[in-house]
Structure 1
Amino acid sequence: MNEFITKLQELNIGIVKENELLANHTTMKIGGPADIFIEPSSIENMIKTMDLINEYNVKWTAIGRGSNLLVSDLGIEGAVIKLGRGMSGLAVNGTEVKAGSGYSLVSLSTQLSRQGLSGLEFASGIPGSVGGAVFMNAGAHGSDISNILTKALILFENGKVEWLSNKEMMFSYRTSVLQKKRPGVVLEAVFQLQSGDKDVIFSEMQKNKEYRKETQPWNFPCAGSIFRNPLPNHAGKLVQDAGLKGYSIGGAKISDMHGNFIVNTGNATAQDVLSLIRYIKEKIYELYQIEMHTEVEIIGRK
């Protein structure tokens, strides 16, 4: 492992740290240390990182802005690669937009609205990165990434880089081919938007932001929606109807505002959150015979 770290530093990959606390890199402010934390300074250095990972046979995990993650209190084995500022390029060509995986989704939707480009209004309140949004087909307000993505540049775990079309991404509700069938890292994404009226686009975005502010607890550290909606039911409504809003275990609490959010009241551990998730699943099944499946990605040592 020391040789692997030395090589990363020799190649000037970007930020390289040992035992970096991942609570500093998740919106829930929870998570133990990464054996090695890497934030590549460019797409080229991300590819070099993967080459080294394969050469030294190092386990790896990629993260974005940490908005849909619950990281184990014991941390993550091997290398954690953060797709950050070094991978946040942006190019706009008419109504076609190419964005790096590290680009903030909120910033992107705001930037494009100022240019009169419509299609990303739904993402104006999603606090993730482009890469994470493509990976999980993020969506809200009746739309999602699959509606606007043309293609994505993917770095696969064998080091191969390939453009995948919208069809090849195999999008479905909050998932893509990258989650199970073809594990890989999003490097860039190309979106096809439409020309629109700036005032109309801005108004739609503000409406979406206000809705989130009024209904979701962003004043507390959280990871966004905890459960996928078991359609035609909605997870938050099921939790609310079960009388579980406000229920807490340790420092983890089901939000008083929205039943599908678990918040960190200040000292929550990953174990607190997992215990609360388990409790919700059991209660909802007991009351409604509905199985709940997590939307938040749970990663790290067990």
Structure 2
Amino acid sequence: MSDVSMRQMLEAGVHFGHQTRYWNPKMAPYIFGERGKIHIINLEKTLPLFSDAMNYISSMVANGGTVLFVGTKRSAQTAVMENAIRCGMPFVNHRWLGGMLTNYKTVRQSIKRLKDLETMSGDGSFDRISKKEALMLTREREKLERSLGGIKDMRGIPDAMFIVDVGYEKIAIKEARKLGIPVIGVVDTNNSLEGIDYVIPGNDDAIRSIKLYVEAAADAANTGKLSVAHAVADSADEFVEVKEGGDAAPKKKAAPRKKAAKKVTVKKAAKKDKPEAVAAEADTATQDADAASE
């Protein structure tokens, strides 16, 4: 996981808040002061909170969890999509549909419809229907792709949610709180931090700032995946006992079960005794024949 420094935050403009007249008093502990009627965020408080949030994402993914990236405002759409794809996580970068999580059963039907249309488009089914019908189905697929394309491979409800602008994504936060999903959110000076489990005080409007947040979150997710891969590789390694001379000690064979050995012995003995019994019968028959001839 790449550690973000205070210098990087300064260069990205994370410390710039909103105009002082739009401030939210609940953000007062994270405000350093004001300059030119604009609040300045205290990065000395932002940096440790940011690190805690990234560590949480990493540990969540390492335990097999899924983090949903949410950023539907225009300045965040591209960064959210690119970095979520980079770390293999679901994302929503267009309008948040009401009930996307709380009514997930219905949303899954729309996702199934999207996948069916993608299959039809790929196997040439559109070529066997009229141009008008093909155009209508293509438009339907594009509309569903915009809304649900980022979550079509999501396996159920996510384990956490990373939000770029908590003021812009109020519906998503409400659904997450209703389902008990932890929320990691970037909170600017004009927003409230209520309902946010991991607060990141910072600029949520500048493209460079948003890119910094999302790239760090994607790196944290990849770090979590990498730790899982290392753990699996370590558990798969075989430990071989080595003698003092340097040669590997041969593996001990397991002793056969006693009952099975008895059965085998009895069978072999039976097979062995068979020809002897036949020979004895033949000798008896010969003696009887000699006695009769006398």
TM-score band w.r.t. shorter chain:
under 0.3
TM-score scaled to structure 1, two decimals? Answer: 0.20
Which structure carries more strand by proportion? 1
With a CA cutoff of 8 Å and minimum separation of 6, indicate the structure with the bigger relative contact order. Answer: 2
